[in-house]
């Protein structure tokens, strides 16, 4: 399986009263990693699986399910964290993303692991839209 690796900077406000990154902030970090990994950013010269995020696109990728496990606390750090993303499953109108979030230290084990299911949806009807052959092929580049 080919993983895509993205780095995300933590913000001072991401930590809570316990001095570690808050559970809700972790979700935002994973969301940011997903957007950077899979959506195109032509202004930055990056081509992702999906076209740039714009509200007038006819088909949207919407999160249908999100599960995550906090393995160890993540303290605030000035260096960016590393998020590895891979796609273990591609369905007819959906796909699954696996996430592993690592601190910038010598520990090789992830601080957080997660999995989300995204469904392709027609923006006008709200109904699932099958993945076309090109998108399926791009997604499978990150699959087993």
- pTM beyond 0.85: the answer is yes
- 15: exposed, middle or buried (C-beta count within 10 Å: 0-12, 13-18, 19+)? middle
CATH of the domain at 75: 3.10.129.10
Which domain does 118 fall in, by range? 4-140
* Residue pLDDT, tens place only, 6-30: 999 999 999 999 989 999 999 999 9
Look at residue 55 and give its three-state secondary structure: coil
* Residue pLDDT, tens place only, 80-139: 999 999 999 999 999 999 999 999 887 789 999 999 999 999 999 999 999 989 888 888
Number of separate domains in the chain:
1
* Per-residue model confidence (pLDDT) at position 107: 78
């Amino acid at each position: 399986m080919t993983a895509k690796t993205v780095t995300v900077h933590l913000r001072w406000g991401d930590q809570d009263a316990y001095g570690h990154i808050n559970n809700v902030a972790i979700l935002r970090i994973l969301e940011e990693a997903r957007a950077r990994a899979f959506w195109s950013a032509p202004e930055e010269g990056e081509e992702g699986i999906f076209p740039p995020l714009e509200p007038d696109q006819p088909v949207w990728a919407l999160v249908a399910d999100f599960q995550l496990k906090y393995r160890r606390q993540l303290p605030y750090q000035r260096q960016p964290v590393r998020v590895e993303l891979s796609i273990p499953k591609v369905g007819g109108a959906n796909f699954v993303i696996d996430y592993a979030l690592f601190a910038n230290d010598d520990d090789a084990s992830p601080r957080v692991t997660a999995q989300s299911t995204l469904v392709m949806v027609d923006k006008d009807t709200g109904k699932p839209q099958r993945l076309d052959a090109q998108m399926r092929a791009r997604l499978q580049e990150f699959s087993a």
